[in-house]
Amino acid sequence: MTGFDTSSPAAAAILHLREAIVAVALGGDRFLLDDGRLARQALSCLVGPEIGDRALVAASANGDCFIVHLLARAAAPAPVRLGVPGANELRIVQPRIVLQASEEIALQSLRAVEVSAATGTLALNANDLHCTVNETLVQTAHNVVAQAGHYLLQSSGLLRLQGQHAILVAEHDVKVDGERISVG
């Protein structure tokens, strides 16, 4: 390495940077390289290495090898996995974050997903909105305003509507049908 001060402690820790191909993914953050060395994904290498990737590998004086950067991916276009080895949380902190996809965005979790706009507005805009809840749906609001061309509500058990005042208005017909109808 020309122009590099080899007398510094940082220079003594890194013996060399070399290009290598990822040959085998051994699990976790460990990989076998095409030159026979074992390497770990460096903490700062956020793109997860895949078999066939051209990588920049740093070898330290104690024999540790780290994939510090991915130079190219053999199969293109291919999915990219972002992650930090050894971390249990990834937090992105910016005044504004935009996730943009021309086809699809999927948020998946085995446990919980939280979307919060504590003092602002949460807007959902879609051609179709499907909501499936296996157990309980709880909605709490000061005011609810709904507008629809057709509104169908079906309950296989009890359907209860309760309020201090209830107004049912129809332009043409109101139909109440049941085996027994109680009013009052």
Domain ranges of the chain: 9-72
- CA nearest to 18, candidates 52, 50, 60, 51: 60
Q: How far apart are CA 58 and CA 15, in angstroms?
A: 8
Q: How far apart are CA 31 and CA 67, in angstroms?
A: 9
Q: What length is written for the chain?
A: 184
Query: Residue 105: how many CA atoms within 13 Å on its side-chain side?
Result: 7
- CA nearest to 86, candidates 28, 47, 32, 16: 28
Q: With respect to CATH, is domain 9-72 assigned 2.40.50.140?
A: yes
Tokens of 75: 């199969």
Q: How far apart are CA 183 and CA 136, in angstroms?
A: 30
- pLDDT tens for each residue of the chain, 184 residues long: 444 454 555 555 667 899 999 999 998 899 999 999 999 999 999 999 999 999 999 998 888 999 999 999 987 788 888 989 888 988 999 999 999 999 999 999 999 999 999 999 999 999 999 999 999 999 999 999 999 999 999 999 999 999 999 999 999 999 999 999 988 7
First-to-last alpha carbon distance for the chain, in angstroms, is: 92
The predicted pLDDT at position 179 comes to 92
Cis peptide before 79 (omega within 30 of 0): no
Tokens of 144: 């609810």
